[in-house]
C-alpha cells in the first residue's frame, strides 16, 4: 500500500516538474505580469473608463455602491451646513415667521434623506427647497447635475461590463487537443472549434502564433519569439459560415515550423501554439476575439477527430458534442520529411528516365585465332 502511494506521489511530482509554463491558458487568459514599471499608477486614472471596465465584479460593485452612498452623504453634510448656518435647526428655536432654506430638515439624518431624494429624484414632497436661500438653490442645481453624471457613468459601466464581447467569447470552444494526421494527401495539424450559439460570428478569421525560444545568428536569445501559423478550412479562412463545428488545419510543408518535427521528438520540443479567432458578434456588432493554446503534450501525432455531425430521420442536422474532443488513431507518417520523400519516390517509379550517357558498343567477332 505504501509503495503504491509512494509511486503515485513520485509520478505526480515528476509530472509537475515536466509541466510547462503557458503564456495563454486554455480559456484565453494571458499569464504575464509586469515588473518595475516606471510610470506612475495615476496614468491608469487618465483612462478611467477602461480601468473601471477591466476591474473585477467585486471591485466594480464596491465602487458603484461607494459612489452613490458617498455622494448622498457628502451632499447631506452640505445641506446640514446650509441649515445650520441659516439657523433652521430646532436647537436654534426659530420663530414662527422664520422661513427655512429647506423645509423639514431637523438634523443630519433628515439632511441625508433630502440629499438622497434630490439626487435620485424620488420627490416625496415632504422636504423641499424654498426661495429664501440662493446658496440652497445653487446647491440643488449642482447636486442634480453631478447626480446625473454619476448615474450615467456608473450605470453605463455596469451595462458595458455585462454586454462586453468578452463574454460572447466564452461560447466559442476549442478542442482539448490538436492532432496531426494526413488530410488530402498532406500532413496537417488539425484543431476543432465550435460555436455554442446559433447566432453567427460575422467575418470570422482564424490564425495562429507559434511561441518558442530562438537564438539568432548573432547569439541573441529571443524568448517568446512569434512565428505566424496559417490555418485554413476547406472554404478558406475568411468569412467563415460558423454555424456548425469546424475543423481548421495547418499544412505542414517546407515553410512550416513543424516540418522538422517528428512523432518521436514532438514531446522534446519547447513551444506553445496560440490560436486566435476574430469575428464580429451578430447581435451587438462588437468585435470579439477567442484565444486558446496548445503545448507539445496536447498535440497528438497520428490521430484524427471523430465525426460529430449527423443527420436525423426528421431531416435535421445534429451535433454530438460528446465526441467534440474525441480522437481516433490513424496511420500517419512519423515525420513530414518522410511523407514528401515517399511521394517523390512513388512519382519516380511511375516515370521512365532515359540515360543519354549510355552507349551500346558493338564487338566484332573474328574467326581467326592466333597462336
Same domain, 231 and 294: yes
Same domain, 151 and 258: no
Residue 80 confidence (pLDDT): 94
The model's pLDDT over 157-170, given as tens digits with 9 standing for 90+, comes to 888 888 777 777 78
What does pTM read for this prediction?
0.68
What integer is the mean pLDDT of 224-244?
A: 76
Question: Using 50, 70 and 90 to split pLDDT, how confident is the model at 263?
Answer: confident
Question: Using 50, 70 and 90 to split pLDDT, how confident is the model at 235?
Answer: low
Question: Using 50, 70 and 90 to split pLDDT, how confident is the model at 337?
Answer: confident
Residue 108 confidence (pLDDT): 92
Does residue 16 lie in a domain region?
no
Q: Tell me which residue has cell 461607494.
A: 66
pLDDT at 13 over 50: no
Does residue 3 lie in a domain region?
no
Residue 148 confidence (pLDDT): 93
> Which of the two residues, 151 and 184, has the higher pLDDT score?
151
pLDDT at 16 over 80: no
What integer is the mean pLDDT of 211-219?
A: 83
CATH of the domain at 221: 2.60.40.1400
Does residue 39 lie in a domain region?
no
Region of poorest pLDDT, from 83-97, 128-142, 280-294, 332-346 = 332-346
Q: Tell me which residue has cell 467534440.
A: 324
What integer is the mean pLDDT of 163-188?
A: 85
Residue 29 confidence (pLDDT): 80
In terms of average pLDDT, the best of 131-135, 346-350, 362-366 is 131-135
Same domain, 205 and 127: no
> Which of the two residues, 337 and 19, has the higher pLDDT score?
337
Same domain, 86 and 190: no
CATH of the domain at 72: 1.10.287.70
Mean of the per-residue pLDDT values of the chain: 81
Same domain, 240 and 213: yes
The model's pLDDT over 295-327, given as tens digits with 9 standing for 90+, comes to 999 999 999 999 888 888 888 888 888 888 899
Question: Using 50, 70 and 90 to split pLDDT, how confident is the model at 145?
Answer: very high
Same domain, 123 and 144: yes
Q: Tell me which residue has cell 471591485.
A: 59
Number of structural domains the chain divides into: 2
**C-alpha cell belonging to residue 179:** 492532432
Quick one: CA dihedral 66, 72, 78, 83, positive or negative? negative
Which of the listed residues 139, 163, 187 is the one where a domain comes to its end? 163
Does residue 222 lie in a domain region?
yes
Q: What is the DSSP letter of 200?
A: P
Does residue 38 lie in a domain region?
no
Same domain, 116 and 220: no
Same domain, 172 and 260: yes
Same domain, 81 and 151: yes
Phi first, then psi: give them for residue 150, nearest 5 degrees.
Answer: -65, -45
Query: 292 Cβ partners below 8 Å, 6+ apart?
Result: 24, 26, 27, 28, 174, 274, 275
Residue 162 confidence (pLDDT): 82
Which of the listed residues 130, 163, 196 is the one where a domain comes to its end? 163
Does residue 115 lie in a domain region?
yes
Which of the listed residues 163, 185, 205 is the one where a domain comes to its end? 163
What integer is the mean pLDDT of 15-38?
A: 70
pLDDT at 144 over 90: yes
Quick one: CA dihedral 144, 150, 153, 156, positive or negative? negative
What integer is the mean pLDDT of 70-75?
A: 95
Does residue 362 lie in a domain region?
no
What integer is the mean pLDDT of 339-365?
A: 53
Same domain, 197 and 149: no
Same domain, 193 and 114: no
Phi first, then psi: give them for residue 226, nearest 5 degrees.
Answer: -105, 130
Question: Using 50, 70 and 90 to split pLDDT, how confident is the model at 30?
Answer: confident
pLDDT at 344 over 80: no
Residue 77 confidence (pLDDT): 95
User: 319: closest CA among 223, 219, 243?
Assistant: 243
Same domain, 156 and 187: no
214: Cα within 13 Å, side-chain hemisphere? 12
User: 242: closest CA among 196, 284, 285, 189?
Assistant: 196
Residue 18 confidence (pLDDT): 47
Does residue 65 lie in a domain region?
yes
Domain that holds residue 121: 55-163
What integer is the mean pLDDT of 337-360?
A: 56
Amino acid at each position: 500500500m505504501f509503495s503504491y502511494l509512494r509511486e503515485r506521489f513520485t509520478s505526480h511530482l515528476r509530472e509537475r516538474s515536466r509541466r510547462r509554463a503557458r503564456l495563454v491558458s486554455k480559456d484565453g487568459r494571458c499569464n504575464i505580469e509586469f515588473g518595475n514599471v516606471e510610470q506612475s499608477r495615476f496614468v491608469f486614472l487618465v483612462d478611467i473608463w477602461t480601468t473601471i471596465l477591466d476591474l473585477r465584479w467585486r471591485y466594480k460593485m464596491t465602487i458603484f455602491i461607494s459612489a452613490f452612498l458617498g455622494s448622498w452623504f457628502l451632499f447631506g453634510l452640505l445641506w446640514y451646513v446650509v441649515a445650520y448656518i441659516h439657523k433652521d435647526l430646532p436647537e436654534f428655536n426659530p420663530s414662527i415667521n422664520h422661513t427655512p432654506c429647506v423645509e423639514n430638515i431637523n438634523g443630519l439624518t433628515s439632511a441625508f434623506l433630502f440629499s438622497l431624494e434630490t439626487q435620485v429624484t424620488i420627490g416625496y414632497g415632504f422636504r423641499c427647497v424654498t426661495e429664501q436661500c440662493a446658496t440652497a438653490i445653487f446647491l440643488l442645481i449642482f447636486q442634480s447635475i453631478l447626480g446625473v453624471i454619476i448615474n450615467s457613468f456608473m450605470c453605463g459601466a455596469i451595462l458595458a461590463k455585462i454586454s462586453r464581447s468578452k463574454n460572447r467569447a466564452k461560447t466559442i470552444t476549442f478542442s482539448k487537443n490538436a492532432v496531426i494526421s494526413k488530410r488530402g494527401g498532406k500532413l496537417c495539424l488539425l484543431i476543432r472549434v465550435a460555436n455554442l450559439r446559433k447566432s453567427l460570428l460575422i467575418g470570422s478569421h482564424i490564425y495562429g502564433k507559434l511561441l518558442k525560444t530562438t537564438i539568432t545568428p548573432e547569439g541573441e536569445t529571443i524568448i517568446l519569439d512569434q512565428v505566424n501559423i496559417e490555418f485554413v478550412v476547406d472554404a478558406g479562412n475568411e468569412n467563415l459560415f460558423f454555424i456548425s463545428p469546424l475543423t481548421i488545419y495547418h499544412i505542414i510543408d517546407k515553410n512550416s515550423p513543424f516540418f522538422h518535427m517528428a512523432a518521436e521528438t514532438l514531446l522534446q520540443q519547447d513551444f506553445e501554439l496560440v490560436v486566435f479567432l476574430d469575428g464580429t458578434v451578430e447581435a451587438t456588432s462588437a468585435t470579439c476575439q477567442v484565444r486558446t493554446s496548445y503545448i507539445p503534450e496536447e498535440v497528438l501525432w497520428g490521430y484524427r477527430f471523430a465525426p460529430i455531425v449527423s443527420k436525423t430521420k426528421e431531416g435535421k442536422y445534429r451535433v454530438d458534442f460528446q465526441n467534440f474532443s474525441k480522437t481516433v488513431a490513424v496511420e500517419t507518417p512519423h515525420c513530414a520529411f518522410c511523407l514528401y520523400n515517399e511521394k517523390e519516390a512513388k512519382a519516380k517509379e511511375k516515370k521512365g528516365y532515359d540515360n543519354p550517357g549510355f552507349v551500346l558498343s558493338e564487338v566484332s567477332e573474328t574467326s581467326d585465332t592466333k597462336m
